Structure 1
Amino acid sequence: MAGRKEELSGKPKPRKRDASRSRGLILQAALEEFSEHGHSGARVDRISRRAGVSKPLIYDYFGDKDAIYAAALKESYVQIRQAESELDFDSVDPEEAIRKLVRFTLGHFREKPWFIAMLNTENLRGGSTIRTLEDAAGVQSVLLQRLTEILRRGADQGVFRDNVDPRDFYVSIASLCWFPVSNRFTLASVFGLEMDDEWYAQRAETAAEMLVAHLKNPA
Structure 2
Amino acid sequence: MASPVPRKSSSSPARRDAAATQAILIQAAISEFSRNGFAGARVDEIARTAGVNKQLVYHYFNSKQGLYLVALESVYAEIREKEKHLSLEALEPLEAMSQLVAFSFDYLAAHPEFIALLSDENRNRASHILESRVLRKMHSPFIDMLDATLKQGVARGVFRDDIDALNLYISIAGISYFFFSNNHTLSAIFGKSLGSRAALAQRRRHVIDFALNALRP
Give the TM-score normalised by the residue count of structure 2: 0.86
Contact 1:84 1:143 in 2 (8 A): yes
Q: How far, CA to CA, are the matches of 2:68 and 2:81 in structure 1?
A: 20
Contact 2:28 2:49 in 1 (8 A): yes
Q: How does 1:73-152 map to 2 (within 5 A)?
A: 73-152=72-151
Q: How far, CA to CA, are the matches of 2:93 and 2:100 in structure 1?
A: 11
Higher Rg: 1
Alignment equivalent of 2:14, drawn from 16, 21, 25: 16
Q: Which amino acid aligns with 1:74?
A: E
Flag structure 2 segments of 5+ consecutive residues without an equivalent: 1-11
Q: What residue in structure 2 maps to residue 208 of structure 1?
A: 208
Contact 2:25 2:46 in 1 (8 A): yes
Q: Which amino acid aligns with 1:98?
A: M
Q: Deviations over 1:47-73 (max 9, x none)?
A: 112223333332222220111111112
- The 10-residue stretch of structure 1 (146-155 or 116-125) with the greater mean CA deviation from structure 2: 146-155
Q: How far, CA to CA, are the matches of 1:149 and 1:28 in structure 2?
A: 35
Q: Which amino acid aligns with 1:71?
A: V
Identity %: 36
Indicate how the Cα distance of structure 1 residues 21 and 146 shifts in structure 2: closer, same or farther if over 3 A, else same: farther
CA shift, 1:140, in A, is 3.3
Give the TM-score normalised by the residue count of structure 1: 0.85
CA shift, 1:43, in A, is 1.0
Q: Which amino acid aligns with 1:207?
A: V
CA shift, 1:88, in A, is 2.4
Q: What residue in structure 1 maps to residue 46 of structure 2?
A: 47
Contact 1:30 1:68 in 2 (8 A): yes
Contact 2:130 2:136 in 1 (8 A): no
Flag structure 1 segments of 5+ consecutive residues without an equivalent: 1-13
Contact 1:99 1:205 in 2 (8 A): no
Q: Which amino acid aligns with 1:27?
A: I
Q: How far, CA to CA, are the matches of 2:211 and 2:201 in structure 1?
A: 15
